[in-house]
Structure 1
Amino acid sequence: MRKTLLSISFLFTVSTANSAEFNMRPGLWEMTTKSDLLALVPRIPADQMQTLTNLAKQYGLDMPKISNGAATSEVCITQEMAKQKIPTFLSQNQYGCDIKDVTQTGKDYKINLICEGAILKGNGVTEGIFTSPESFTGRTEFKGVVQGNPVNERAYTDGRWMGADCGAVQPLRAHR
């Protein structure tokens, strides 16, 4: 259960990070997501944390630094990714969720999530604003059922551009 819930928070972080189609600068971004679910991380057994670390690596990410209910990670966004309205790696139904009704008005964006998978069922919405091409803030709400357990989760994400060079950080990629 905790593994799946942390995975949901990870999904929301990635979807918030790549939502707006023209405002985001490509390059290295630092993303910080806060949620009540992330506060549960210290209670996750070591073997399950290893599974989560492996999941993150499948998406081209190192496991974020998690402390005090917040996850901080570095994400490399390519020029192509920055231009996409719906990033291709998010539209591949990784968690049984489909992205619907992506809208952008100026610097504001909104994405609706509809999840009908075997493990995850429910609806969510991600909303945010690019305060500049180099920073954004957003929130995601999800209400539904995870492995038969009711969930009503909120996550808040802030992102800031660190520079054009991603260094050793690899771009996000689709789950295989």
Structure 2
Amino acid sequence: MQKIILSLSLLLAVSTANSAESHMRPGLWEMTTTSGLLSLVPMIPPDQMQNLTNLAKQYGFDMPKINNGAATSQVCITQEMANQKIPTVLNQNQYGCDVKNAVQTGNDYKINLICENSVLKGNGVTEGIFTSPESFTGRTEFNGVVQGNPVSERAYTDGRWISENCGTVKPFRDPR
């Protein structure tokens, strides 16, 4: 179960964070991530789900609504975040993962992840396309080991801009 929680938190953080690439309109965005792991969320015990919710709050976002294998959340993208080639949240070396070879060509982007620590080891890639400054689609794949258990996960993320005003939704922040 801990493998599921760690993998889920990694995919949600990376899938949501990777969307803050340039060409993006600042403001409130709705992000929807789908994956096989998300369909397992109903089996997570309440105390472990609370730990995952607390982890999400440390990184400045509320736990997304998860239903039928899809997580939907709202994310505030500041002008500064929208202007960055690599979003601040990815540069923070979360979960012991380093961003390598971040490349943007036109509206396409690709980011390689290398994860090396006692809990999480492996490689991942995030790639996608901005269909307009107000929408994107992408995917994240990760292959490696979580606490000694092999994991091969794939998540798909779609984002759409909602408004210029983020309302009560706060931008990501550095948890350290």
Which bracket does the TM-score occupy, shorter chain normalised?
over 0.9
Q: Equivalent residue of 1:80, what SS?
A: helix
Residues 139 and 156 of structure 1 are in contact (CA less than 8 Å); yes or no, is this contact kept in structure 2?
A: yes
Gaps of 5+ in 2: none
Counterpart position of 2:19: 17
Moved more, 3-12 or 76-85: 3-12
1:70 and 2:70 are equivalent in the alignment: yes
Compute the displacement of 1:131 (Å). 0.2
CA–CA separation in structure 1 for the residues paired with 2:91 and 2:175: 11
Q: Equivalent residue of 2:30, what SS?
A: strand
Normalised to the residue count of structure 2, the TM-score between the two structures is 0.96
CA–CA separation in structure 2 for the residues paired with 1:100 and 1:174: 20
Counterpart position of 2:28: 28
Q: Equivalent residue of 2:102, what SS?
A: strand
Counterpart position of 1:46: 46
Compute the displacement of 1:100 (Å). 0.5
1:4 and 2:6 are equivalent in the alignment: yes
Compute the displacement of 1:135 (Å). 0.1
**Moved segments of 4+, more than 3 Å:** none
- How much is the aligned-residue C-alpha RMSD, in angstroms? 0.9
CA–CA separation in structure 2 for the residues paired with 1:2 and 1:126: 20
| Letter in structure 1 aligned against 2:73 | S
CA–CA separation in structure 2 for the residues paired with 1:171 and 1:12: 15
CA–CA separation in structure 2 for the residues paired with 1:117 and 1:42: 28
Counterpart position of 2:60: 60
Gaps of 5+ in 1: none
Counterpart position of 1:174: 174
| Letter in structure 2 aligned against 1:133 | P
Q: Kindly report which structure 2 residues correspond to 1:78-93, keeping only aligned pairs within 5 A, or say none.
A: 78-93=78-93
Compute the displacement of 1:9 (Å). 1.6
Q: Equivalent residue of 2:169, what SS?
A: coil
Q: Equivalent residue of 1:89, what SS?
A: helix
Counterpart position of 1:104: 104
Q: Equivalent residue of 1:25, what SS?
A: coil
Counterpart position of 1:119: 119
Residues 116 and 122 of structure 2 are in contact (CA less than 8 Å); yes or no, is this contact kept in structure 1?
A: yes
Residues 136 and 159 of structure 2 are in contact (CA less than 8 Å); yes or no, is this contact kept in structure 1?
A: yes
CA–CA separation in structure 2 for the residues paired with 1:175 and 1:132: 31
| Letter in structure 2 aligned against 1:17 | S
Compute the displacement of 1:14 (Å). 2.3
CA–CA separation in structure 1 for the residues paired with 2:14 and 2:38: 12
| Letter in structure 2 aligned against 1:2 | I
